[in-house]
Structure 1
Amino acid sequence: MSELEESHRTSVELFAGGGGLAMGVERAGFRPLLFNEFAKYACETLDMNVSKRHKADRIRIPDEDAVAADPYEVPPPGAVVPIVEGDVQRIDMGSLNGQVDVLAGGPPCQPFSLGGVAKGDEDKRNMFPQMFRAVRQIQPKAVICENVRGLLRPSFKPYFDYILRELEFPFVERRTNATWQEHDDVLRAMEKRRVVRPDERYDVVMTPVNAADYGVPQIRNRIIIVAFRSDLHVDLDTFRKLITPQYSEGALFRSILNGEYWKRHNKVPKHVQNRVIAGVPKNLPLDDGSKPWRTLRDAIEGIEEGEDGKLPSLPRISWEKLDRVDYEIKGFKYHVGWPGARIYDGHTPNEYDRPAKTVKAGVHGVPGGESVMLTDDREPDSGSPGGFRYKHRYMTVRETARVMTFPDEWELAGPRGEQMRQLGNAVPVLLGEVFAKAVAATLDEAESRA
């Protein structure tokens, strides 16, 4: 029996997508009991990869039929793990009550009309209510949610504060036809009176994050919401210390200036080094002992550490091979050259010696140049400073997966556009792992005091 199968920690993953958060949670030592996802290709991706580590059974929810709870009994160690494809609203998870340590997921929160939210009219695609329903049915010890940083914008703050209060009091259900403002008034009253049972209340920690600050080779600004069931009496300060960022931009700049960065990448042309050094700000913050941000070059060259140590360098993509043909270069799947990359006015490309830009859920990442990168190769251009310009191309799917810290053996279902969409919608594996390990350690500490 594997170490994971022997683990006493368990997890359920909703809105699992391509599996980034799910893998991070599993790496933190949680044994999965159930995965749920709506998108067909994402379910295929989960099926291909979960099946490598567990017995897995892909279950499709018929649109016309109600879903019984029976298929979702708690699977014992080594048993089949269900991957449920379909609408989360049709899943009854009551049989998992009291059996789950962590309920994880990134509920889709489609852009609301600010006018609509102000009037109490909410987008039906908002899946936070389904996350709260799952909390009521399962009563997990902890909840991990990831979502976009846009939820913090001032115009949306009242509604987002309401979402956090709903997670704090998930058992206080909203009345039929009540507006969110009316329900929020009820929750605020509960907050003041503190009369809710501890096992039906959660202590909520909301953390704005940049994934680069946690070792992910990508600028990715998100929020992560973690909630602990109040009857467990966890030490929230312990949790907050465990999620303190360990990486910084200043440390990257210092490593570029003192040469440590170039020792790791000793084949970088001198003209590239000079260009990068010239772009380092003159006034750097004081050294706080943090590690350097990881860069796109780190990801491609394999400096970033994997589960089994240093990753291999990805093979170079030849300019003659930007032809969409998968040659399975040295065994690397999805490392395929793609033609037609352009740099648009105002859309800056990725640079090797910075963290990548945010991977977005699209084929090429336009607008923004998110999947276009400058290379070390240059060609004559009389209109550019110095008479040369650096050549650019689209990042391959495998390079993008590395930027999202997925392992090279992770397979992705569907055509290129679907693969990129899954990666753009995912939580970077490493970011999910950091927060899941912090949750596990915080629960362990609380249980040791009980």
Structure 2
Amino acid sequence: MVEQPQETREPRTSVELFAGGGGLAMAVHQAGFRPLLFNELNTRACETLVASAKKTLGVDGMVRTDKTRPEPPKPGMPAPLYADDVRKLNMSALEGKVDVLAGGPPCQPFSAGGVAKGDEDKRNMFPAVFKAVREIRPKAVICENVRGLLRPSFADYFQYIQNELRLPFEKRDDEVRWQEHNNHLTSILATLSDDDTDPDHYKVVMVPVNAANYGVPQVRNRVVIVAFRADLGVDVEAFEKYVKTPKFSEDALFRSMRDEDGPYWQRHQVPDHVRERVRARLPRVIKEDDCQPWRTLRDAVQGYGTDVKLPALPTVDLDRLDEKFNFGKEIEVTDHIGWPGARIYKGHTPNELDRPAKTVKAGVHGVPGGESVMLLDTRYRDPQFLDGWTYRHRYMTVRETARVMTFPDEWLGAGPRGEQMRQLGNAVPVVLGEFFANAVADALAAAGH
């Protein structure tokens, strides 16, 4: 990729659909794109977007439901938030004015937690994305979704999704089965050459990602789909090579931990027994590479979860969990509140501080135990275990979870704890989204746009 200093870029524009708690929207905004429109249906998520608007999103703080054909805001004005079903919006007033259309269509149709009905599920919002592409004609599209799309049972439909994005103006009639429409699209695609420059066509890159490989302190396997309008002359092969090359690695983390005074231990002062336990479990053979170390849960809690150093979150006093005390008050961060009742049980192993966190999940019936529980550095004698010790554990706070999702501390989740955790579990990690948004901006710039 051709690197271009962000300050030399011309202002770019974006539209965000299915904005949720604002992860991808925030990422695109931080990558230098000026938002023209936000769309989100969920009431609590809209409240979150408004609460976080001033510092992180460029939202005007007003929720609109009065227009179905929104106009782009004037230069210098913040973007409106439309709290309505995206299928009701006519976005034709934005045609030719949008660089990036971004969004994570609801993933429940393709996730194990959402029963995985796929195309049959009414929550499948990919058709709404294609409608928006036809109306807006953006230069590029960024979509994020669950890795469940790569399941063999979804293989044909997932290929159909990509084919529709390549040829969005070949609209499917309601009475036509998707299989028939896919055959039609496939026949057209077979006639196109690699140097196709039709402005009605898009060139698509599909990237399976583990967010940890992009600097997120969390193992989170997802699929990112990026499309560029064919007439722009973007070097799609160079873009694909760049975004598929890991920037962080597990082996680099192991190398930073291997020595007793390694870089990881210089950054974190931990009890000797913790360091010894972690080092004893390192593999005997550690590969060499040019990557940076995976970031860990401890990194996130201590403020090293992103490239911007944050203050360390204060220790949660286990004796005060029942008080719902805000332990972050002393550093002016919200929602760093302890939560009682954490337990460890079969099938739900907790997070370890010196590994990336497990995948933050929304949960159908609340957040599962293991994914929101963390082992601590403190331990007590327990003859039931071979080494004679048991490590204490507790629930992660909302703020710790937000840091694992690489949200800034200014992010304010609306609603009770469970709702805030649901929004975080459904979000795109900000650092992951920003990486792809910057890569798209650089690819457009390299092509002269």
TM surpasses 0.5: yes
Task: Give the C-alpha shift of residue 58 in structure 1.
Answer: 2.6
Structure 1's unaligned 5+ residue stretches are: none
Matches within 5 A, 1:13-412: 13-52=16-55, 54=58, 56-61=60-65, 67-69=67-69, 72-111=70-109, 122-194=120-192, 198-243=198-243, 244-258=245-259, 259-265=262-268, 267-285=269-287, 287-306=288-307, 309-323=308-322, 325-327=324-326, 328-330=328-330, 331-362=332-363, 365-366=367-368, 369-412=370-413
CA contact (8 A) 1:109 1:128 kept: no
1:216-273 Cα deviation digits (max 9, x unpaired): 00000000000000000100133124322210001111111122211111x2000011
1: CA distance, partners of 2:126 / 2:204: 15
SS of the equivalent of 2:387 reads helix
May I ask how many residue pairs the two structures share in their alignment?
Answer: 431
Moved over 4 A (4+): none
2: CA distance, partners of 1:400 / 1:121: 31
Task: Give the C-alpha shift of residue 408 in structure 1.
Answer: 0.8
Task: Give the C-alpha shift of residue 60 in structure 1.
Answer: 4.0
Q: Match of 2:421?
A: 420
2: CA distance, partners of 1:422 / 1:103: 21
CA contact (8 A) 2:118 2:154 kept: no
Q: Match of 1:431?
A: 432
Task: Give the C-alpha shift of residue 120 in structure 1.
Answer: 10
Q: Match of 2:3?
A: none
CA contact (8 A) 1:324 1:336 kept: no
SS of the equivalent of 2:322 reads coil
CA contact (8 A) 2:232 2:447 kept: yes
1: CA distance, partners of 2:59 / 2:443: 29
Q: Which amino acid aligns with 2:271?
A: P
1: CA distance, partners of 2:94 / 2:110: 32
CA contact (8 A) 2:215 2:306 kept: no
1: CA distance, partners of 2:125 / 2:294: 33
Task: Give the C-alpha shift of residue 192 in structure 1.
Answer: 1.5
**Aligned CA distance change for structure 1 residues 113 and 339 (closer, same or farther; 3 Å):** closer
Task: Give the C-alpha shift of residue 185 in structure 1.
Answer: 0.7
**Aligned CA distance change for structure 1 residues 279 and 56 (closer, same or farther; 3 Å):** same
SS of the equivalent of 2:448 reads helix
2: CA distance, partners of 1:145 / 1:129: 13
1: CA distance, partners of 2:78 / 2:144: 27
Q: Match of 1:8?
A: 11
Structure 2's unaligned 5+ residue stretches are: 1-5
SS of the equivalent of 1:385 reads coil
Q: Which amino acid aligns with 2:162?
A: L
Q: TM-score, normalised by structure 2?
A: 0.91
2: CA distance, partners of 1:177 / 1:326: 56
CA contact (8 A) 2:335 2:397 kept: yes
Task: Give the C-alpha shift of residue 324 in structure 1.
Answer: 5.2
Task: Give the C-alpha shift of residue 365 in structure 1.
Answer: 2.9
SS of the equivalent of 1:245 reads coil
CA contact (8 A) 2:147 2:223 kept: yes
2: CA distance, partners of 1:112 / 1:213: 23
1: CA distance, partners of 2:312 / 2:118: 52
Question: % of aligned pairs identical?
Answer: 59
1:75-122 Cα deviation digits (max 9, x unpaired): 1222141011121111110000000000000011433699xxxx9972
Task: Give the C-alpha shift of residue 386 in structure 1.
Answer: 2.4
Q: Which amino acid aligns with 1:413?
A: A
Q: TM-score, normalised by structure 1?
A: 0.91
SS of the equivalent of 1:52 reads helix
Q: Which amino acid aligns with 2:421?
A: M
2: CA distance, partners of 1:14 / 1:97: 15
**Aligned CA distance change for structure 1 residues 55 and 347 (closer, same or farther; 3 Å):** closer
CA contact (8 A) 2:218 2:296 kept: yes
SS of the equivalent of 1:68 reads coil
Mean Cα deviation higher: 357-366 or 124-133: 357-366
CA contact (8 A) 1:364 1:371 kept: no
RMSD of aligned alpha carbons: 2.2
Q: Which amino acid aligns with 1:61?
A: T
